[in-house]
Structure 1
Amino acid sequence: MTSIKGEITDIVIEEMIGYYNSQRMKLYYLENEVSNIKNSSLPIRNTSRILRNLAERLLKEQQSVALNLSSMEY
């Protein structure tokens, strides 16, 4: 027999794993975008702007993941 606390813990862990996996997929797609940009023949100025925007998006995603995971701990 499992306790209610154990079941709740299992549910929270499953939710955290699901959230983590979805964030990993977002980062995977962003990394693919970077790879495509590097392999494209866009002008250098346009590429650097796109890469800067992409780096900002990656930073925001990373901060969002960290914030959400830390709030899930409580």
Structure 2
Amino acid sequence: MSESVATIILILAAAYAGIGIAIGGWFVFAGIARIDQATAHVSLGFRLIIWPGAAALWPWVLVKFANARPRGGEHP
């Protein structure tokens, strides 16, 4: 493998991780209650525990957030 290919792979991995950390942090501290209202008043410890998972799965988190109903919507 040439150095340029390895460099590109590392840059893409770093970009994915950076975007994941940012979106995961936003989701954990601001957006999680839109998906699950029971998490609106959870502790800081809980939020810190789920942050790595939200960061790793950030594309899925964005899809779930986009498809979630706003808070206060009707329940089926």
Bin of the TM-score, shorter chain as denominator length: 0.3 to 0.5
Bigger radius of gyration: 1
Bigger relative contact order, structure 1 or 2 (CA pairs below 8 A, ≥6 apart): 1
The answer to which structure has the higher helix fraction is: 1
